[in-house]
Structure 1
C-alpha cells in the first residue's frame, strides 16, 4: 500500500498546486469591482431612504431597506476577498482560504432573508393601515434607484472562465453580491409599477402590496443563495461531470476506484481523495489527473489489485 506523499513522490509535484493558494482566477478584479459597487450602493441607499421617509412611500422605503442590506452584503463580500488574499499563504489554513467567499455568501443569504422578513412585516402593516403617498416625487427617485441598481448588476456580472464550467457556482462570493442586486432590481420594477398604478388609478393598496411581492422575491433569492453556499460549505459534490472524468482517468490503465471524494476548495479549484486498486503506484495515478481543469489538490492511496477490501469501496 502506498499513499501519495509530496516528500515520497517528488516526480509528481509539478502536476498540481502544492502552494495551497486556491483563490479564483479573477480574485483581485472581483475585489476591486465589489468595492466600487459598495460605494455606489451606499450613496443610493441614502437617497432612497430619505425619499421614502419624505414622500411616505413604502415601496421606496422597501427599496432603501433592501439597498441597506446590499451595502452590508457588499462590505462582507469585499472583506472576504481582502482576508482571503491576505491569508492565502497562511499555513494554519489546511486547504487555503478559497472558501471564505462561500462563507461570505452564506452570511449574505441570511441578511437577505432577514431583509425579506422586515419588508414583509412593514408592508403588511401599511396594507392594513394605509398612508398617503407622494407619487409624483417618489416615482422619479425610484426610477433613478433602478438605473443605479442595473448599473451595479452589470458591473458585478460574473465571469465565465473555463474552470468555472466544472463548478456551476464559480466565484460564489461575487455571484452572491450580484444576486443581491438582481433581487433589488426586481423589487424596484415592482415598486415602480405599483406607484404608477397608485398615481394613475388611485389604487392606494398597490404600494404596500408591491412591498409584499418584493419580500417574496427577496425570500426566493435568499433561499437560492443559502442552498448554493450551504452546499459548498458542507462539501457537497459540486460536479458529477468532473467526478466521472476523475474516475475514468484513474481507471484508464486497469485500475479500480474503491473510494473517491471530490469537493470545492475555492472558485475553480477542487480537491480529490481517491483509493485505487491495481492502477499502479500513487505517482502514476496522480499523473493521470495532470492537466484536468478544476482539479488542484490530489491525494491518492494505491492498493494492489488483489486487495481483500477491493469489493468494499465507495465513490462520492
Structure 2
C-alpha cells in the first residue's frame, strides 16, 4: 500500500468525533473555573476576616459551582486526549454526554436540597441578615452571568433544546446565460411540493411552451418536466422526486444547458448540541435564576416583613432547576443509550437507500459526538449494486461520520 493510500485509509477510518470548536469550549470552561475559584477564595477569606458566616457560606457554595464546571473541563480534556485511542470503538465523543449526565444528576440533587431546606424554613422561619444577604446574592448573580456569557462565547445561551428535524439544503439558485438574457433556475419547496421555477429579470418573457427540463440521475434514470406560467415565473407541472441530486438539461431560447444540482442534509437539535457545554451553562444559569429570585424575595421580605417569601422563592427556584435537570438527563441518557438522535434523518436515509426499489432490512442511526452520527445499514437488492453505490447516495448527509453498509442479494 502506498503512502497516499495509507493516508487515505487512515482518514477514511478516523474515529475522531469531537464537536466543532471543542478546544475553544475547553479553554472557555477553564477560564470560568478560574473566575469561580478566585471568587470562592475572596469570599471565604473575606468572610473570615470580617466575621461574616454568610460570605463564607456563599464561598463554599461557589466551590461546588467550580467543581461542577471542573467536571465539564475534564470531559473536554479526556475526549481530546483519547480521541485517537483504539480502545474506544467509536471514538471518545461521548465523554461530554457522560459529564453532562453526571452534572444533570448533581443539579437534580441540588434542586432536592434547596426544596427540602426551603420547605423546612417555610414552617420554621429563621432570622435573615438582609444587609449582608442581598449584596452577596447580587455578587453571586454577577459572577454567574459573567460565567454564562464566557461559556457561551458571548452569543448563545446554550440551554435551548432545539428541534429534532434534519434540514436539507439545495444549491443556490442557478444562473443560465441564455441568448435572450440570463435565466434563474431553482428548486422551490417553501411550504409547497418541490417544483422547478424559471424566471428572467430582464429581456423577453419566457414561454412555457418553449421551455423544458430533463433530469438525469446518477443511476441513469431520466424524467422530463413541462412548465406552466405562474404570473411572470414558469413552474414545472410535475413535482421533483427525492432526492434532489441530478443533472438538469434545461432547454430555453432554443438552446440546451446542463445544470448540476446537489442536495445536502444537515442534522440539528439532539444530534448536534454539545451536552457538556449545555450542562455547564445550565448549571450557571440555574444559579443565576435562583440568585434573581432570591434577591427579589429578600427585598420583598425586608420591605414588607414577609419572612415566608424567601423559602417560597427557594421552592420555585428548586422547581426550575429540577425541570432543567430532567431535560438534560433525558437528552444525555438518550445519547448514552444510543437512541436515534434524529428520526427525520433516519427516515431520509432509508428513503435515499430505497430510491430505486431496494429494501432496507436493518438500519441503526446513533450519535458518536456533537454533530457526528454513525449509521449501519443492511440493504437487500436484486441488482448488482455494491457498497460504493449506496455510500455515494449517503454522501450528502454531512453528519454521517461513520458509515457501515451491508449488501445482500435478493432471491
TM-score w.r.t. structure 1 length?
0.83
Alignment of 1:86-125 (within 5 A): 86-125=81-120
Decide which structure has the larger Cα Rg and report it.
2
Which residue is 1:195 aligned to? 298
Which residue is 2:52 aligned to? 54
SS in structure 2 of the partner of residue 263 of structure 1: strand
User: 1:124-158, CA deviations, whole angstroms, 9 ceiling, x for partnerless residues?
Assistant: 23223322212122212211211221121122225
User: 1:17-67, CA deviations, whole angstroms, 9 ceiling, x for partnerless residues?
Assistant: 42101111111011001111122223344567787x93769xx96x76764
* More helix per residue: 1
Note if contact 1:195-1:206 (Cα within 8 Å) is conserved in structure 2. Answer: yes
SS in structure 1 of the partner of residue 341 of structure 2: coil
Residues matched between the structures, number: 290
Which residue is 2:216 aligned to? none
* More strand per residue: 2
Which residue is 2:331 aligned to? 228
TM-score w.r.t. structure 2 length?
0.64
- Give the 3 Å change call, closer, same or farther, for CA 212–43 of structure 1 in structure 2: farther
Which residue is 1:78 aligned to? 73
- Give the 3 Å change call, closer, same or farther, for CA 206–166 of structure 1 in structure 2: closer
Which residue is 1:29 aligned to? 24
Inter-partner Cα distance in structure 2 for 1:233 and 1:64: 34
Which residue is 1:5 aligned to? none
1:295 aligns with 2:293: no
Q: Which deviates the most, 69-78 or 187-196?
A: 69-78
Inter-partner Cα distance in structure 2 for 1:56 and 1:174: 30
Alignment of 1:62-73 (within 5 A): 67-73=62-68
Any gaps of 5 or more consecutive residues in structure 2? 163-264
Alignment of 1:126-145 (within 5 A): 126-145=121-140
Give the deviation of 1:208 after TM superposition: 2.2
Inter-partner Cα distance in structure 1 for 2:74 and 2:267: 22
| Counterpart selection for 1:274 from 377, 380, 402 | 377
Inter-partner Cα distance in structure 2 for 1:20 and 1:241: 24
SS in structure 2 of the partner of residue 112 of structure 1: helix
SS in structure 1 of the partner of residue 329 of structure 2: helix
- Give the 3 Å change call, closer, same or farther, for CA 211–37 of structure 1 in structure 2: same
Give the deviation of 1:281 after TM superposition: 1.1
* Larger RCO (alpha carbons 8 Å, 6+ apart): 1
Inter-partner Cα distance in structure 1 for 2:20 and 2:121: 47
Which residue is 1:39 aligned to? 34
Any gaps of 5 or more consecutive residues in structure 1? 1-9, 307-316
